[in-house]
Structure 1
Amino acid sequence: MKPYQLYIERAGATKNVARYYAISMEPTLFGEACLIRRWGRIGAGGQRLVHHFEYEEEAVGLFLQLLRQKRLRGYRPKSTA
């Protein structure tokens, strides 16, 4: 299993929005897939949720579903400007 990582942000000065969302997918010690979600206000600790899957395909499916949802809400990769 290859580890996957994604970090996206949504920011807007007019609505005072500065949020981040991070997703990573890693193998556990027992060979299962683990999807870790972190989110919150940029600069703050935020929250964390861990999902365990027996099969990597299930984890990839949730990874892609969450990515689609976040892109629809305006999250984009962090700008380097």
Structure 2
Amino acid sequence: MISQPYNLYVERLDATRNMARYYAMSIEPNLFGDICLLRRWGRIGSKGQMMVHHFGRENEAVRLFLDLLRQKRKRGYRPRPSTPT
């Protein structure tokens, strides 16, 4: 069982380079009791790609989640800017 939810969605936007990318991650249990880290990425508006990592313990998944988050922050990914309503 997962102790707390882990969900992340970040974007990297650069109009001068025609760049509009997204990166999403979540940690979820599967039907067999394993912990899975789901990663999705691609150009905003496209289906993109997906990768699933399977772990026996939650702390291993969290460690990879945080490492990937650090890497994406270094590359310029940021949370989606909020739009006023």
Percent identity of equivalent pairs? 65
Corresponding position: 1:76 with 2:61: no
Shift of 1:31: 2.1
> Hey, what's the Cα distance between the residues in 1 that align with 2:81 and 2:12?
10
Size of the aligned set, in residue pairs, is: 81
**CA distance in structure 2 between the aligned counterparts of 1:54 and 1:22, rounded to whole angstroms:** 22
Once superposed, which parts of structure 1, at least 4 consecutive aligned residues long, lie more than 4 Å away? none
Partner in structure 2 of residue 39 of structure 1: 41
Structure 2: unaligned runs, 5 residues or longer = none
Matches within 5 A, 1:1-81: 1=2, 2-81=4-83
Distance across 1 between alignment mates of 2:58 and 2:30: 11
TM-score, length-scaled by structure 1: 0.95
- What letter corresponds to residue 34 of structure 2 in structure 1? E
In the superposition, the TM-score normalised over structure 2's length comes to: 0.91
Cα drift, residue 77 of structure 1: 0.2
